[in-house]
Amino acid sequence: MDYPATSPALAAALRPGHVLRISDIDGLALDDLVDSVATDLPVFLDYRGPADRTARDVVTEVLDALESIVLALFPTWLPGHHAGELLDADEAEDAARRLCRDAAFTSSAVVHFARMAAGAPSAGSRPGNEARAAALTFLLRRSYHRDTVVLAVRASPDLPVRAQQAAAAACRWIADHGRLAVWLTSDALLAVPWVPGFRIGVGSTDRSDLPTPDSAADESVDRAAGPPLLTVSRPAGSPAPHSAAEQALERALTHQHWARDRQWNRSPRDLDPLSPAVVVDLLWTRAKVVVEVDGADHRGPVKYARDRRRDNMLQRAGYLVLRYTNEQVLDDATLVAAELAAVLAERTRPTGARAARPAPPTPTPEESSWITPG
């Protein structure tokens, strides 16, 4: 997909406080934007949660999910600190106060979130939604070193009109108080007349070899598995803050010497320059090993087809691609780490020392749709 990151149309669509329907952004295009690690794009928040509820409930739901993401990014939003660094509550509070002073951002909510992320028990009352919205988007911009944030909203076309109106009112409130732009996908909240339509000129992904999306089927898989309510742009070099499975796998790898060269959410540099750019979940460059941690949405026909195409491209470049489901990682991240240790040891062993092994059989379409190490 071609991202016109500096186009006038995109710049106009990024103005904080506005709610727009982006007529050339559908679910697949939004997936591509969220998957990108391009630093000249905004931070994208992908919200799939509007249901039949009040505007206040929608606001609270979005802010609760965003709070979880920001806490998972701690301490990257504090000055002078990096992912994985351990801070106690007093150190976190001092850094948060310094951040607010240097950025001229007056909010006790930032100190509250810093102490909370450092594991301190909650002291005093929880910040109100107005303070939370401003502080959370401020900290999100800090973590990604980007100036703009977009909340992209998908919604079922079967949502009752009153629920669509409530969700749209919540979007307007979040755009105002969170100082961000809200984009509705092309088919979201169509019963709300006051949302203006807009085009940003996003180039189309080549979908010629993809099956026709079956939205209803994909949604049923998503609901059954309980996907994240809110996802965020991939943070280059760190596991996704909305993914409990990626976070669990990182904890299992943190103190393993053999895993020290791992890279989260990076693009392999040695692919054919004419091939589409891909960002993989976890990468060991020297061993040429890629690990993907897949949610239930990867079982849908469109993502399944795209995954197979990506896997084939990576395999042609000499990469071994291992796929685990979220459930496999969450059930036993230690076991997954042990399997990865064995694979990396085999891949980095001198060629002459490797035992000759027959190639594993190719799974048939009737067999499991998940490719996992045996």
What are the sequence ranges of the domains in the chain?
Answer: 11-205, 236-353
Weakest-pLDDT range from 91-100, 258-267, 304-313: 304-313
Q: What is the mean pLDDT of residues 331-351?
A: 93
Q: How far apart are the first and last CA of the chain?
A: 34
In this predicted structure, the answer to whether residue 210 has a pLDDT above a threshold of 70 is: no
96-110, 271-285, 353-367: range with highest mean pLDDT: 96-110
Q: Can you give the pLDDT at residue 111? A: 94
Q: What is the Cα–Cα distance from 189 to 113, expressed in whole angstroms?
A: 32
Instruction: Indicate if the alpha-carbon torsion angle 184, 186, 188, 189 is positive or negative.
Output: positive
Q: What secondary structure does DSSP assign to 219-272, as a single string?
A: HHHHHHH---SEEE---TTS--TT-HHHHHHHHHHTT-GGGTT-EEEE--TTS-
List of residues 6+ apart from 351 with CB closer than 8 A: none
The backbone torsions φ and ψ at residue 210, rounded to the nearest 5 degrees and listed phi first, read -100, 145
**Across 306-313, average pLDDT:** 90
- CATH no., domain 236-353: 3.40.960.10
User: Is residue 148 scored above 90 in pLDDT?
Assistant: yes
Confidence of residue 353 (pLDDT cuts 50, 70, 90): low
Q: Measured between alpha carbons, how far is 17 from 238 in angstroms, rounded to an integer?
A: 29
Residue 62's pLDDT is 97
**Mean pLDDT, rounded, for 190-197:** 94
User: Please, what is the average pLDDT of the chain?
Assistant: 86
Lookup: tokens for 321: 């691609």
Which helix H or strand E contains 47, and what residues bound it? strand 43-47
Least confident window among 118-122, 172-176, 185-189, 319-323: 118-122
Report CA torsion sign: 18, 19, 24, 26.
positive
User: For residue 221, what pLDDT is reported?
Assistant: 38
Global confidence as pTM: 0.84
Strands 197-198 and 181-184: unpaired
In terms of Cα–Cα distance, which of 283, 292, 288 is closest to 323?
Answer: 292
